[in-house]
Chain A
Amino acid sequence: MNISDKKVQYVIIGAVVGCALIFLILQFVILPALNSWKENSAKAREIRQKTVEMRGLVQSRPVVQKQIGEAKSAIKKMDGNIPLPVLGNYLLGMEEYIRACAGNLGATVVTVADNDVLEISPENSRFKIYRVRVQAKADFSEYIKLVTNIQSNNPLCSISGLNIIARDESPSVHEISFVVAWLVWLDPAKRPAFLIEGKK
């Protein structure tokens, strides 16, 4: 073997070692670093985007607090029209209300009795409908006045059934049976805390 051939051999060995070195550096240094660069950049971008959204929400805090205040005062205002049971009894208060509405009108409230309790939405409503049946005697115009009083004195009180039968012996005075429905809390003990605190 002459010197020139030896040199060529060294060059070839050097080239092979160099290629292997380059491959190793690419495989174990550059590619992992590139992947980590890409991953971290994507994560940072995502977090920055999320942070911008979070900042937007955080900035809305005064508005949300104001809205909560407004909603609470609106509920407090309406809460007076939602009857609460007295020792578990709703009927006493409702009968009193209906008789007060009849007042000096020409309508005679004969009886007020429990009718039924309806669930508005079985899954997630905080309210139910409590209905009482009222038997009364009145002419049609007086009855309309009674209904007007019942519905106008309490915006959450509603006529939900009615049966008027003409009487042959006294055509102007009718036997009237009607159902009055109230919106009541599904569980009065679990109504919003700020309403319970207000009553303490």
Chain B
Amino acid sequence: MNLHVNLILESELRSSSRISRNFLVKASAAVAALLFLSLILVVLVGARSAKNAFLFAEQEKKQLDPVYRTVTDLKQELAAIQDVTNAIAAWSQTRPDWPGLLLGIQSAVPANIQLTRLTVNEIISIIDAAPTRVMTLYLQGKASGDHSETDVQELEKSLKEEAPFIGVMEMAQVKLFEAVKNVGQENMRIFDIECRFKTRKLFQPVKVKPKDSK
């Protein structure tokens, strides 16, 4: 009968491996501490360089600021001046060509029609938030002969579709067509034509707010 007795205490046990468990634990702890210290170092250096970059960018902006403000002021001055030129140009460009239009009316009226009244009204109205020229034209006249009805219709058509009215006239409509009640003028007709021009927008300046560079 064999009896195996182990006389070595537990604390006296040694590993048969070349690298002891104790060494492994210590080495791991040292590597972890080193990694942790490196992390701290990287973060601190990164934070410092980010702060330096921020200070440098701010300094650069500060240096550029006075010139930038000057150019911003110049831009505002330009906008204000351009508002003036645009307002003047818009007023001039939206002006109706009255000599041409009056010549057009003269040539559109047939020989058997006599105009008794010609009225033009122009108002400045705010339409779609912009000041706009709104113009109307009223014609009153007399037409004689058997074809007075078709002649008045022709005149109405000319005022809508012929040059110089085409493109500028929005509406032309006979509002009244009736016989003259005087004795001896049974063949005579009186008429009213109402015309509305296309509206013309004037320039609406934009309010410029002072811009802050910050």
Which residues of A approach B to under 8 Å, CB–CB?
Answer: 3-4, 22, 25, 29-30, 33-34, 36-38, 40-41, 43-44, 47-48, 50-51, 54-55, 57-58, 60-61, 64-65, 67-68, 71-72, 74-75, 78, 82, 118-121, 123-127, 129, 140-141, 143-144, 147-148, 151, 155-156, 158-166, 179, 181, 183, 192
Beyond A129-B124, A156-B91, whether A68 also contacts B204 by CB under 8 A is no
Q: How far is the CA of A120 from the CA of B129 in the complex (A)?
A: 11
Which residues of B approach A to under 8 Å, CB–CB?
Answer: 10-11, 36, 39-40, 43-44, 46-47, 50-51, 53-54, 56-58, 60-61, 64-65, 67-68, 70-72, 74-75, 77-78, 80-85, 87-88, 91-92, 95-99, 102-103, 106, 114-122, 124, 126, 130-131, 202, 204-205, 207, 213
Set of chain A residues within 8 Å of B115, measured between Cβ atoms: 164, 166
Contact among B10, B50, B77 for A40, CB-based, below 8 A: B50
Nearest Cβ on chain B to A94's Cβ, whole angstroms: 16
Nearest Cβ on chain B to A21's Cβ, whole angstroms: 10
Q: How far is the CA of A58 from the CA of B120 in the complex (A)?
A: 51
Beyond A140-B102, A144-B99, A163-B119, whether A64 also contacts B81 by CB under 8 A is no
- The answer to whether A41 touches B68, judged by C-beta atoms less than 8 angstroms apart, is no
Q: How far is the CA of A102 from the CA of B69 in the complex (A)?
A: 53
Contact among B68, B82, B120 for A54, CB-based, below 8 A: B68
Consensus secondary structure, chain A interface? helix
Set of chain B residues within 8 Å of A144, measured between Cβ atoms: 99, 102-103, 106
- The answer to whether A159 touches B120, judged by C-beta atoms less than 8 angstroms apart, is yes
Nearest Cβ on chain A to B119's Cβ, whole angstroms: 5
- The answer to whether B58 touches A158, judged by C-beta atoms less than 8 angstroms apart, is no
- The answer to whether A30 touches B68, judged by C-beta atoms less than 8 angstroms apart, is no
